[in-house]
Structure 1
């Protein structure tokens, strides 16, 4: 829930200055609503009345993602840094630190769970958002992608040589897409998926 405070002040400008100090945020991170207008009173001071302003901290998706993962790390007692940047409709979160590797899990399954939960946290503040989130730890996903492409090419060469179909291990949708993409223009093999998640696997078949 967005953080809100109410401030009585002689002017909106003065209320904003006080809010920025109290909330420790920048002016672009708040919204101001005048609930009651100030009045100067008789002769400018007799019966004057302060205005009432409601200050709301804007919940940016990048901030929510960063805060959610930092809380998760704290609860898991993992000492790591969190870097967040947004590229169009994609929020990229990179967790850095030697201790963070324990959160990758077997073939990235724990990391995928963290990514899924972060997405749910973002959806909570804006159900109509089309923003996706990608969570990575020490560039694991890039290294995993390179490893999968090498594996895909090796399996494709084996299928092309033996003309025997290969069924790969169970993979998540992200990993299957990498292999599909790596082999989509291969002259000798085709790829397709079979089964249902989480037991869905990719098949490499000789192109007849």
Structure 2
């Protein structure tokens, strides 16, 4: 019997894992729908499973983008807090810790694109100079995005410092 999985290939999650993540998304959606009702805000909720996590997004309905931005905050700090509250709501129902990701009105998607550009600039500088490049402090979501882009480019990165001032250092592999 031979193993048909190539080295480094990630096998799909078991159906029970997918069902559990979908259940997390449904619980989160119910919680967020109640929140939107209480705050008298309009938005649709999309549920997905992405990179082994439940992913929930509140999508702005036509004309409600500005109102939903209040749930993001200036630099995403309100979004981060809502994500933690949503994770706690899921944990309360399931009894298990959730790694659910929440996005509102495309904020995280836009931020992911910005951070990919920051990472690419750091990668170019490391390749040019051969010296490590330290980036500005970032939250865990932001650091994860940078680490993923750096790894994809074949370089190495580490997180250093202490929250809330943890930052990524990009270096040669």
Residue 83 of structure 1 and its aligned partner are, at CA, apart by 3.0
Residue 159 of structure 1 and its aligned partner are, at CA, apart by 2.9
Residue 160 of structure 2: aligned partner: 194
The unaligned stretches of length 5 or more in structure 2 are 1-22
Residue 69 of structure 1: aligned partner: 32
The normalised TM-score by structure 1 is 0.59
Relative to total residues, which structure has the larger helix share, 1 or 2?
2
Are the structure 2 counterparts of residues 65 and 171 from structure 1 closer, same or farther at C-alpha, using a change threshold of 3 Å? same
Residue 131 of structure 1 and its aligned partner are, at CA, apart by 5.2
Q: Distance in 1 between matches of 2:146 and 2:53?
A: 22
Residue 115 of structure 1: aligned partner: 83
Q: Distance in 1 between matches of 2:114 and 2:25?
A: 29
Are the structure 2 counterparts of residues 80 and 95 from structure 1 closer, same or farther at C-alpha, using a change threshold of 3 Å? same
Query: Looking at CA atoms only, which structure, 1 or 2, has the larger radius of gyration?
Result: 1
Are the structure 2 counterparts of residues 85 and 163 from structure 1 closer, same or farther at C-alpha, using a change threshold of 3 Å? closer
Contact 2:159 2:169 in 1 (8 A): yes
Q: Structure 2 matches for 1:1-208, cutoff 5 A? A: 61-85=24-48, 90-97=53-60, 98=65, 99-127=67-95, 129=96, 132-184=99-151, 186=153, 189-205=155-171, 207=172
Q: Secondary structure at the match of 2:92?
A: helix
Kindly tell me the number of residue pairs found equivalent between the two proteins: 146
Residue 3 of structure 1: aligned partner: none
Residue 63 of structure 1 and its aligned partner are, at CA, apart by 4.0
The unaligned stretches of length 5 or more in structure 1 are 1-59
Are the structure 2 counterparts of residues 162 and 61 from structure 1 closer, same or farther at C-alpha, using a change threshold of 3 Å? closer
Aligned-residue CA RMSD (Å) = 2.7
- Asked which structure has the greater RCO (Cα within 8 Å, sep 6+), the reply is 2
Runs of 4+ in 1 over 6 A off after TM superposition: none
Residue 90 of structure 1 and its aligned partner are, at CA, apart by 3.5
Residue 145 of structure 1 and its aligned partner are, at CA, apart by 1.7
